[in-house]
Amino acid sequence: MDYGEVLERFEPVLGLEVHVELSTVTKMFCGCATVFGAPPNTQVCPTCLGLPGSLPVLNGAAVESVVRIGLALNCSIVPWCRFARKNYFYPDMPKNFQTSQYDEPIAVHGSLEVQLADGSTFTVGIERVHMEEDTGKSLHVGGATGRIHGASHSLLDYNRAGVPLIEIVTKPIVGAGARAPEVARAYVTALRDLLRALEVSDVRMDQGSLRCDANVSLMPRGSSTFGTRTETKNVNSLRSVERAVRHEMSRQAAVLASGGQIVQETRHFDEDSGTTSPGRRKETSEDYRYFPEPDLVPIALRDEWVQRLRATLPELPWQRRARVQAEWGLSDPELRDLVNAGALDLIAATVEAGAPAGAARSWWVSYLSQQANSRSVELTELPITPEQVARVIALVDAGGLTTSLARQVVNGILAGEGEPEEIIAARGLAVVSDSAELMAAVEHALAAQPDVAEKIRSGKVAAAGAIVGAVMKATGGQADAQRVRELVLARCAP
């Protein structure tokens, strides 16, 4: 069945669950460090190891982060909530229960407006945002793929156990139709950008600090009853989100079209093939036996505290877009191009760092975009910051650099040679602005080309170009050509 046919017969319904690891200094319920990549079981204590007798104490910074996330997603922050225990056995969970929130999430009923590539927007409803703790990491040894199947034993590292985890669950996403995979990807992208702006997480899908599970079901056209959904895990990049959703839609359509039924199950996304496969089916569905966590006391979210946190929210990405568009007088297509190039936030940040909008835009959209393309990376992945770009622009404006020198400085930054000032000094790139030095060079050039000098003196101003060229050569291009020309003309004035 081709994709078009899938959409003719079915309306896809999505539910996206995103888990975010907070970048707090310490874990959710104990004072252990959360540094990525530490040697195994070196960032643990009785609490996150679940040793007998240990107790949790809630990280206040994590609470503030989740409230800010909820506010940024236009959620209502509940006045009171508790933690609950989610009980099940698994070796990566030291207590064999996860301290989470069940029927009392801290934030509910929000929305996120997501912009698609063609400029249209799609509003994704947010059902809930809640706090939980991450599990340890298991290494499965002995199998072919490093996965569970065929493994002889497993090795557990609990460094990650207890790291604060925020779960964001969407309301069913309906009506995206053929664009469902794109909407899914755009949602996760927008969420990632938002969380980055809030500075609450590193949001690195490749490091696991942002994880996405995609729930997909198909509703036959004309029906209003949701179909059976599957949950796909191991979706480790933005591209995978889109591919996984698309694959599931097609797979489910094929099953339903041939008269089969969708099994409600958890599936595993395979990066290489772009397909999903079923996880091991459980005999009985899990009964998590949730009950209020007795070792933690409830959280009372007083209004003035929530408002204080609201005041700490940075300008959120869509707010920035609207403001920038107004300030720079951009048309919608212009704005869209900038957004698609991933340049908007970078330009805005450069402007915030003091650069004029035009120069900022110009640098990012032309020279830096070329650099990004030639290195096959995203603009945001270039090893240069908006602050550095702003400094370079400022140096050019102040006359310390010419445009071509500035490009050399930028190349130096991209090469990791350091800050603009360091590179200028190391490479000797400063504009020669010392009058005496310049005058000397001008004199020298005039003396070397007396016939040209004569022409200038007789009024042929255009001839000055040859002298300027000679001076530029003599100074290794580090003179300000305009200035040199002025000096030449002044020197040759009658």
Positions in 343-402 near other proteins (CB under 8 A): none
Token pair of 61 as six digits? 């910074």
The CB-of-155 to other proteins minimum distance in angstroms stands at 4
- Which of 3, 42, 119, 220 is in the footprint of other proteins by CB under 8 A? 42
- Which of 61, 414, 430, 481 is in the footprint of other proteins by CB under 8 A? 61
Q: Could you give the CA distance from residue 199 to residue 65 in angstroms, rounded to a whole number?
A: 9
The CB-of-53 to other proteins minimum distance in angstroms stands at 4
Size of the site for other proteins (CB under 8 A): 77
Residues present in the chain in total: 494
Going from the C-alpha of 205 to that of each of 14, 182, 190, 212, the distances in angstroms are 20, 18, 14, 9
Stretch that binds other proteins, among 10-18, 133-141, 456-464, 480-488 (CB under 8 A): 133-141
The CB-of-301 to other proteins minimum distance in angstroms stands at 9
- Which of 17, 19, 74, 82 is in the footprint of other proteins by CB under 8 A? 82
Name the CA dihedral angle for 65, 66, 70, 72, rounded to a multiple of 10 degrees.
20
Stretch that binds other proteins, among 41-49, 179-187, 400-408, 486-494 (CB under 8 A): 41-49
Stretch that binds other proteins, among 3-11, 140-148, 223-231, 449-457 (CB under 8 A): 140-148
Q: Could you give the CA distance from residue 345 to residue 324 in angstroms, rounded to a whole number?
A: 9
Q: Could you give the CA distance from residue 427 to residue 288 in angstroms, rounded to a whole number?
A: 64
Q: Please report, as residue ranges, which positions from 187 to 206 form the binding site for other proteins (by CB under 8 A).
A: none
- Which of 133, 134, 157, 213 is in the footprint of other proteins by CB under 8 A? 157
Q: Which long-range contacts (CB under 8 A, 24 or more apart) does 175-181 make?
A: 175/11, 176/12, 176/14, 176/122, 177/7, 177/11, 177/12, 178/3, 178/4, 178/7, 179/116, 179/122, 180/12, 180/14, 180/245, 180/246, 180/249, 181/241, 181/242, 181/243, 181/245, 181/246, 181/249
Q: Could you give the CA distance from residue 394 to residue 112 in angstroms, rounded to a whole number?
A: 37
Q: Please report, as residue ranges, which positions from 217 to 276 form the binding site for other proteins (by CB under 8 A).
A: 233, 266, 268
- Which of 15, 78, 85, 471 is in the footprint of other proteins by CB under 8 A? 85
CB 180 within 8 A of CB 249: yes
- Which of 58, 178, 197, 430 is in the footprint of other proteins by CB under 8 A? 58
> Count of alpha carbons within 13 Å of 301, Cβ hemisphere only?
24
- Which of 101, 135, 201, 217 is in the footprint of other proteins by CB under 8 A? 135
Stretch that binds other proteins, among 55-63, 211-219, 223-231, 236-244 (CB under 8 A): 55-63
Report which of 42, 23, 237, 219 is spatially closest to residue 134, judged by C-alpha positions.
23
Stretch that binds other proteins, among 59-67, 310-318, 334-342, 372-380 (CB under 8 A): 59-67
The CB-of-106 to other proteins minimum distance in angstroms stands at 13
Q: Is 448 in the site for other proteins (CB under 8 A)?
A: no
Q: Is 91 in the site for other proteins (CB under 8 A)?
A: yes
The residues with which 169 forms a beta bridge, in sequence order, are 17, 128
The CB-of-149 to other proteins minimum distance in angstroms stands at 9
- Which of 1, 116, 151, 353 is in the footprint of other proteins by CB under 8 A? 151
Q: Could you give the CA distance from residue 356 to residue 393 in angstroms, rounded to a whole number?
A: 8
Rg of the chain taking only CA atoms, in angstroms: 30
> What would the 3-class secondary structure string for 295-336 be?
CCCCEECCHHHHHHHHHCCCCCHHHHHHHHHHHHCCCHHHHH
Amino acid at 117: A
Identify which of residues 118 and 287 has a Cβ nearer to other proteins in the complex.
287
Q: Could you give the CA distance from residue 134 to residue 429 in angstroms, rounded to a whole number?
A: 50
The CB-of-474 to other proteins minimum distance in angstroms stands at 59
Q: Is 96 in the site for other proteins (CB under 8 A)?
A: yes
Q: Is 19 in the site for other proteins (CB under 8 A)?
A: no
- Could you give the string, one character per residue 283-322, with x where binding to other proteins holds by CB under 8 A and - elsewhere? -x--x-xxxx-xxxxxxx----------------------
Identify which of residues 87 and 411 has a Cβ nearer to other proteins in the complex.
87
The CB-of-186 to other proteins minimum distance in angstroms stands at 28
Q: Is 57 in the site for other proteins (CB under 8 A)?
A: yes
